[in-house]
Structure 1
């Protein structure tokens, strides 16, 4: 299915990639379905609402620095 996003334009997502929060999330009480979209070359991903392009949250991939082989102290 195609969804409109705030930062990536229109993207195709698989139904199995949709994360459902039956009770919503703090700040997104009416939003129930989200996908994770990567931000290239960064340790961040976007938690994007499937229904509302403006409903996004930036998240940090906690294992990014380990999977890239770079450890910053």
Structure 2
């Protein structure tokens, strides 16, 4: 199974995912990213960060294959 890395970009800051997670495919990785974003959006001001403005860059083998704005996950919080 491929290892997906979920790098977070917030403004001009990159928070790199050095460990990553194995997922069977891109759809599963997208669901995982959405789940992580919802958790982080549940505490939007942790360390003074406004997570709703963040974007996941999903990477496999050093190549960016998808992006997912955290705000896309916010609609599932209601």
TM-score by length of 2: 0.36
| Greater radius of gyration (CA) | 1
Tell me the TM-score normalized by structure 1: 0.37
Larger proportion of helix: 2
